[in-house]
């Protein structure tokens, strides 16, 4: 398949690190993935709930590029789709290079807006020793480079399935680089 597409989809009803691969997920506008522990209008990530449970959930859907899995495997890590907690595994799209607010459309109806970069945490290191240093690095100026995918909110609900093509619409105006959310 050519062009940006969905390699696999995942969800978990529990706050587990990895998510089970399923045939399809249903995105619900303003909430996230139906049946996923992170579904909701307010933040669901445990550390963020502890700091402010009323903040909006900008992390409704986690997208991760399959190319990262390929790179990690070439470095000796055993990583498969869904292992790093993503809801949607993509191929053929530079997720990390998208500007804030980029719209991604899956299939006929599902539409998400990219809110920012996933901020990798120590759970990645607990999952597999040495992995955190592979998904977080520093550039020549010392700034952190986060490579563990992007987060998004659901604009329009719909079904997302393995094999769906991804249409990309960047926002007008000066692009705003992604920051951690």
- Look at residue 181 and tell me if it is in a domain: no
- Look at residue 138 and tell me if it is in a domain: yes
- Look at residue 175 and tell me if it is in a domain: no
Rounded Cα–Cα distance for residues 176 and 39 (Å) = 26
Q: Tell me: the pLDDT tens digits for 103-161?
A: 999 999 999 999 999 988 888 888 899 999 999 988 899 888 899 999 999 999 999 99
DSSP SS3 for 47:
helix
Q: Tell me: the pLDDT tens digits for 52-104?
A: 888 899 999 999 999 999 999 999 999 999 999 999 999 999 999 999 999 99
Rounded Cα–Cα distance for residues 131 and 72 (Å) = 8
Segments forming the whole domain that contains residue 67: 5-169
Rounded Cα–Cα distance for residues 132 and 5 (Å) = 26
- Look at residue 108 and tell me if it is in a domain: yes
- Look at residue 135 and tell me if it is in a domain: yes
Give me the CATH number covering residue 20: 2.40.33.20
Number of neighbouring beta carbons within 10 Å of residue 34:
14
DSSP SS3 for 23:
coil
How many domains, the chain? 1
The H or E element that residue 96 is part of is none
pTM over 0.85: yes
- Look at residue 177 and tell me if it is in a domain: no
Q: Tell me: the pLDDT tens digits for 159-168?
A: 999 999 999 9
What integer pLDDT is reported at residue 124 of this predicted model? 87
pLDDT tier, 1 (very low <50, low <70, confident <90, very high otherwise): low
Rounded Cα–Cα distance for residues 83 and 129 (Å) = 14
Q: CA nearest 166: which of 78, 92, 57?
A: 92
Rounded Cα–Cα distance for residues 113 and 156 (Å) = 9
- Look at residue 20 and tell me if it is in a domain: yes
């Amino acid at each position: 398949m050519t062009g940006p597409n969905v390699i696999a989809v995942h969800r978990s009803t529990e706050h587990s690190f990895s998510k089970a691969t399923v045939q399809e997920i249903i995105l619900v506008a303003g909430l996230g993935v139906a049946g996923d522990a992170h579904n909701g209008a307010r933040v669901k990530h445990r550390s963020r709930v502890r700091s402010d449970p009323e903040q909006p959930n900008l992390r409704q859907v986690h997208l991760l590029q399959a190319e990262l899995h390929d790179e990690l495997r070439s470095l000796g890590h055993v990583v498969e789709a869904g292992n790093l907690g993503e809801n949607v595994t993509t191929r053929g799209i530079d997720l990390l290079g998208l500007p804030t607010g980029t719209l991604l459309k899956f299939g006929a109806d599902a539409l998400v807006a990219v809110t920012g970069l996933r901020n990798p945490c120590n759970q990645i290191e607990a999952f597999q020793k040495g992995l955190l240093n592979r998904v977080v690095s520093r550039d020549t100026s010392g700034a952190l480079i986060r490579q563990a995918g992007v987060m998004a909110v659901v604009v329009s609900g719909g079904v997302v399935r393995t094999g769906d093509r991804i249409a990309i619409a960047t926002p007008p105006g000066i692009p705003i680089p992604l920051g951690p959310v």
